[in-house]
Amino acid sequence: MKNLKVIFMGTPQFAVPVLEMLNKETDVVLVVTKPDMKVGRKQILSFSPVKEYAVKHNIPVFTPKKIKEEKDTILNTPCDIIITCAYGQILPEKILEYPKYKCVNVHASLLPKYRGGAPIHWCLINGEKETGVTIMYMDKLMDNGDIIAQESYQIKDSDNVSTLHEKLSLIGRDLLLKVLPDIINHKVKPKHQDETKVTYALNIKREDEHLNFQDKGINIINKIRGLNSFPLANITFNGEEMKVLEAYFAPKDNVEPEKVVEVTKDSLGITCQDGIIYLTKIKPFGKKVMMIKDYLNGVDKEKIKKGIIK
Domains 5-197 and 206-305 share a fold: no
Residue 304: name the closest of 273, 264, 251 by CA.
Answer: 264
Pairing of β 103-107 and β 81-85: parallel
Indicate whether 191 pLDDT > 80.
Answer: yes
Pairing of β 233-237 and β 240-251: antiparallel
pLDDT band with cut points at 50, 70 and 90 for residue 29: very high
Element (H, E) at 244: strand 240-251
Indicate whether 78 pLDDT > 90.
Answer: yes
pLDDT recorded at residue 288: 95
d(CA 17, CA 53): 10
Domain coordinates in residue numbering, the chain: 5-197, 206-305
Least confident of 38-42, 245-249, 253-257: 38-42
pLDDT tens digits, one per residue of 237-251? 888 999 999 999 999
Residue 50: name the closest of 62, 37, 33, 64 by CA.
Answer: 33
At 20, which amino acid appears? E
pLDDT band with cut points at 50, 70 and 90 for residue 197: very high
DSSP three-state, residue 136? strand
- Report, at the CATH architecture level, how domain 5-197 is classified: 3-Layer(aba) Sandwich (3.40)
pLDDT band with cut points at 50, 70 and 90 for residue 42: confident
d(CA 237, CA 257): 14
pLDDT recorded at residue 40: 73
DSSP three-state, residue 233? strand
Residues 6+ apart with CB under 8 A from 136: 104, 105, 107, 111, 143, 145, 146, 147, 148, 190
Residue 306: Cβ-neighbour burial (10 angstroms; 0-12, 13-18, 19+): exposed
Q: What is the dihedral of CA 73, 75, 76, 82, to 10 degrees?
A: 90
The CA-to-CA distance between both ends of the chain, in Å, stands at 56
**Of the CATH numbers 2.40.420.20, 3.10.25.10, 3.40.640.10, 3.90.550.10, which one belongs to the domain with range 206-305?**
3.10.25.10
| pTM, to two decimals | 0.94
- Percent of the chain exceeding pLDDT 90 equals 88
